[in-house]
């Protein structure tokens, strides 16, 4: 049975539509026995640390030269790398905040992507991601509708796809959106949104 990682990044708890949508995706996959064990990481319970100078220094050290202080600084990054390595399916939810993903999700991605760990270069200088054959479901909640913005204003799905493809090795990203949540008397029909799943 495949295992899953569920990343939640809205601080609105049970009121969050993105969390509701990603939970519906997880439930559907579980009900169909496509996934078994699910590890959930709520990025708003323990915020990912921002990258500072010391951590960036550790990111680029050879693993054998990392000392005790480095191990402490790399603890969060190593933990989330292990979580994603152990998962076949990754379900990620995010609110749209100022056209982008939530700040905790961006910080999680910055902690995840690491030279030598999530991506390497071959002798010809070609970069490749090391975590291949995984599937990502991306659940995005927005107060408005994407179709109301000019072309080129989609920054969340395109960014996740680009980073996962270039620096992680995951090319299979399937996006679902719950839109218009700021509307009067809005109610979310998650089953309808994910009917193609």
Ligand X SMILES: Cc1cc2nc3c(=O)[nH]c(=O)nc-3n(C[C@H](O)[C@H](O)[C@H](O)COP(=O)(O)O)c2cc1C
Min separation Cβ 93 and ligand X, Å: 7
Judged by CB under 6 A, which stretch of 46-54, 93-101, 123-131, 189-197 contacts ligand X?
93-101
Report residue 66 as tokens: 């990392």
Q: Does 111 bind ligand X (CB under 6 A)?
A: no
Binding mask 15-54 for ligand X (x = CB under 6 A): -xxxx-----------------------------------
Min separation Cβ 177 and ligand X, Å: 10
**Cα 106 to Cα 135: distance, rounded to the nearest angstrom:** 19
Q: Does 79 bind ligand X (CB under 6 A)?
A: no
Are 171 and 163 contacting, i.e. CB atoms less than 8 angstroms apart?
no
Distances (CA, A) of 177 to 6, 81, 119, 173: 16, 26, 29, 13
Distances (CA, A) of 70 to 29, 52, 90, 131: 38, 13, 28, 23
Min separation Cβ 147 and ligand X, Å: 11
Binding mask 136-155 for ligand X (x = CB under 6 A): -----xxxx-----------
């Amino acid at each position: 049975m495949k295992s899953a990682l569920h990343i939640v990044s809205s601080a609105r708890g049970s009121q969050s539509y993105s969390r509701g949508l990603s939970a519906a995706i997880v439930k559907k996959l579980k009900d169909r026995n496509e996934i078994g064990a699910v590890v959930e990481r709520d990025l708003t319970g323990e915020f990912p640390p921002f990258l500072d100078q010391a951590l960036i220094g550790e990111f680029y050290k050879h693993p054998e030269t990392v000392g005790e202080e480095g191990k402490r600084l790399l603890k969060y990054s190593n933990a989330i790398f292990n979580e994603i390595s152990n998962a076949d399916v990754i379900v990620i939810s995010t609110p749209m905040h100022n056209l982008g993903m939530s700040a905790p999700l961006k910080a999680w991605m910055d902690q995840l992507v690491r030279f030598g760990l999530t991506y390497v270069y071959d002798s010809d200088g070609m970069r490749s991601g090391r975590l291949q054959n995984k599937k990502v479901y991306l659940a995005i909640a927005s107060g408005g509708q994407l179709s109301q913005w000019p072309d080129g204003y989609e920054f969340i799905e395109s960014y996740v796809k680009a980073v996962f493809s270039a620096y992680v090795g995951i090319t299979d990203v399937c996006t679902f959106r719950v839109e218009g949540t700021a509307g009067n008397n809005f109610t979310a029909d998650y089953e309808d949104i994910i009917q193609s799943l």
